[in-house]
Amino acid sequence: MIQIKDLHKSYKMGKNSLHVLKGINFNVEEGELVAIMGSSGSGKSTLLNILGMLDSSDSGEYILDNVPIKDLNETKAARYRNKFLGFVFQSFNLINYKSAAENVALPLYYQKVPRKERQEKALKYLEQVGLKEWAGHLPSELSGGQKQRVAIARALAAEPKVLLADEPTGALDSKTSYEVMDLIQKINDAGNTILIVTHEPDIADMCKRIVHLKDGVIIEDKKIEQVRAEQYV
Amino acid sequence: MWILDRDLWSEIFATLGKNLFRTFLTMLGVIIAMIILVLLLGGANGMSNGFQKIFAGTASNSLFVWSQSTSEPYKGFERGRRIQFKLEDATILKEQIPEIEVLAPRIELGSHRGVVTVYRNGLTSGSAVYGDYPNIDEIMKKKLVEGRFLNENDMTESKKVCVIGEETYKLLFEKGEKAIGEDVRINGVFFNIVGIYKPNQNINIDGENSVYIPFSTFQKAFGSGDRMGWMAISVKSDAKVPVVESQIKRLLKNKYDINPIDERAIGSFDMSEVFNNVKAFTGVLQGVSFFVGILTLLAGVIAISNILLITVKERTKEIGIRRALGATPKVVKRQIVLESIVITVFAGFVGFAIAVGFLAIANNLIGDNSDMPFYNLMISIPQFLVSFILMVGLSVLIGLIPANRAIRIKPIDALREE
Ligand SMILES: Nc1ncnc2c1ncn2[C@@H]1O[C@H](COP(=O)(O)OP(=O)(O)OP(=O)(O)O)[C@@H](O)[C@H]1O
Ligand SMILES: [Mg+2]
């Protein structure tokens, strides 16, 4: 699903240049649930943003679902994001004046899905995250966990190839975190490829594979026995 | 067609509706600008209409010619000789100058602009008394309150009839008293009143207190012979009044042995000049109103652009989210520009409605009878269309500023966790 070869990224700040990713190589197969770990500043978000086409790399190869991702302009990147990727952020990033259902339907709007179908799909995915009754509510009327579930429903709505989540449980307490992880595991069970950035070991243990970053390189990449979140909720 | 895309519009209205108060404040500038534009234009148009109403009935392509005294010696004549037109002059002029459409000879009792005492039942009025041809009505239309104006029959039969002004009526009659059919006495001769006219409020060549009798009757009653006081002349629509004016003067100067350089001997007044001046004046006024109005509108639209610019900054995160979810720069740009247009057009209509309301009230207050040169204050459909097209055009151009700002927002920067 994802193939990355010798990925480099540095940030220029005035005269100095900060080399953040120093040659990343890794592949992700379809249906994997990968945790990306590492200390603060190790380049986790940078890597995820490049995978999400929100940022570009300096050099290296990136192939997503057999499509080489290169020479991206803003329009092309937007189309690819819409078609291939779903995002879940630490701070949810829901649009605050839109209801849960409208938020979920938004990526479909950009896919030019007809209105009725969009509404149906939005409800379907809200149901999947257990929030069908909350469809008409604004984000401000939802708890943190509920907001993150709406965000996950939104990421799923466009039926992306890969779900990218940057610290999806970072703003949640442990109980709510496990609920969200339970949901993510179930989505993964259904066959979705998911990458999660986290620095909480218990969250990482709920994935199927852990990739450890340090100083811009992968120092460890291991498959693990998944801990089911179900038992904690 | 994206313009019919219901979702696009609901997106836009959702964004605008989420902060109604700010949207309203944003619109205020354009609302006020539109009110100013429409009121200015309406006022200028009203003035133009007002002048048109004042001039209604007076042929715009007309002139008046009268005789005075010479100011230059010529062919053995001393200066200061009094010129007296004869009725035959009218015939000669009509024959020799084909550009003349209507020529109405007139004679006045007493000296020029002098008054004569008119008697009735012990009441008196100091009025101007004119002997007129009925065709004077084609050049200076009289607004009749009652009865009729002089006609051809009065002329040929030299009837002792007269048409009096409303002022004259007020002096000679009690309020509400019937005047048609009554007699008045002028220099010992009785005249039967056949009509009362209302003075044309503002153009008043004849004065407000006048009595008109047929020219032929005048000749017989007052023994004026073939003398003629002055002429009201209208020229054909394809002719220029100043040209005809100088032709007439040349001819008359020749006939009466007046020095060609004598400017005083024959007096004349070119009505078309007044018309042209007024037209030019109201035209300039309309132009200035339009210009000022459009500038105000520009200021209003710039205010919208400014507020949208602030909104775009505030919405950086939202725009970033949309971009991450797949909104292309084009889509973002279109949305912001459309927001600009929607606010502007809506505000424009609101301002327009308010201003038209004001104009309607003003029209009601001014009404038909007014000393003010204002009438029917309203903006014309072309003016309305031009203003609206300009407004929408401006809103597109100026909406592009915040729109371009919005597409420079990179989703990665917008979404970076603080
Ligand atoms: N836009 C940027 N400009 C300059 N430096 C940046 C930028 N984004 C990230 N960095 C730097 O790159 C390094 C890696 O950042 P990154 O956000 O990828 O770290 P991270 O692993 O996600 O850390 P955390 O766990 O704290 O989120 C950091 O040192 C950061 O300061
Ligand atoms: Mg990070």
State in Å: Cα A207 to ligand 2 middle. 18
pLDDT, position A213: 93
* CA of A165, nearest ligand number: 2
If you average pLDDT over every residue of chain A, what do you get?
Answer: 91
The reply to whether A11 touches chain B by the CB within 8 Å rule is: no
| A232 within 8 A of A56, measured Cβ to Cβ | no
Two tokens at A149? Answer: 């579930």
- Per-residue pLDDT, averaged over A141-159, amounts to 91
State in Å: Cα A219 to ligand 1 middle. 18
The answer on pLDDT for A8 being more than 90 is yes
Q: Which fold has domain A1-230?
A: Rossmann fold (3.40.50)
pLDDT, position B112: 60
How far is B127 from B138, CA to CA, in rounded Å?
Answer: 23
How far is B40 from B76, CA to CA, in rounded Å?
Answer: 61
Residues measured by CB to lie within 5 Å of ligand 2, the ion? A 45
Q: Across B133-223, where does the E strand assignment appear?
A: 143-147, 161-165, 183-186, 189-198, 210-214
- Per-residue pLDDT, averaged over B113-133, amounts to 84
- Per-residue pLDDT, averaged over B116-138, amounts to 86
If you average pLDDT over every residue of chain B, what do you get?
Answer: 85
Which amino acids bring their CB within 6 angstroms of ligand 1? Answer: A 11, 13, 18, 20, 38, 40-46, 199
| B197 within 8 A of B145, measured Cβ to Cβ | yes
A78 CB neighbours in chain B (<8 A) are 323, 326-329
Two tokens at A7? Answer: 């990925």
Distance from CA of B5 to the nearest CA of A (A): 10
* Interface predicted TM-score (ipTM) of this complex, two decimals: 0.91
Q: What is the DSSP letter of A54?
A: S
B366 versus A32: the higher-pLDDT residue is A32
pLDDT, position B77: 82
Q: How confident is the model at residue B270 (pLDDT cuts 50, 70, 90)?
A: confident
The reply to whether A185 touches chain B by the CB within 8 Å rule is: no
Counting from 1 in the atom list of ligand 1, the atom nearest the Cα of A199 is 25
pLDDT, position B1: 57
B417 CB neighbours in chain A (<8 A) are 45, 89-91, 166
The answer on pLDDT for B201 being more than 60 is no
The answer on pLDDT for A118 being more than 80 is yes
pLDDT in tens, B42-53: 888 888 888 877
Counting from 1 in the atom list of ligand 1, the atom nearest the Cα of B412 is 1
pLDDT in tens, A54-79: 888 999 999 998 888 887 888 888 88
What percentage of residues in chain B have a pLDDT greater than 70? Answer: 94
B8 versus A43: the higher-pLDDT residue is A43
B141 versus B245: the higher-pLDDT residue is B245
Q: Domain residues of chain A, as ranges?
A: 1-230
- Per-residue pLDDT, averaged over A201-230, amounts to 93
- Nearest-CA residue for ligand 1 atom 27 is A40
Probe residue for ligand 1, chosen from A8, A37, A46 as the CB with the greatest number of ligand atoms within 8 Å: A46
Two tokens at B135? Answer: 């065709």
- Per-residue pLDDT, averaged over A5-24, amounts to 91
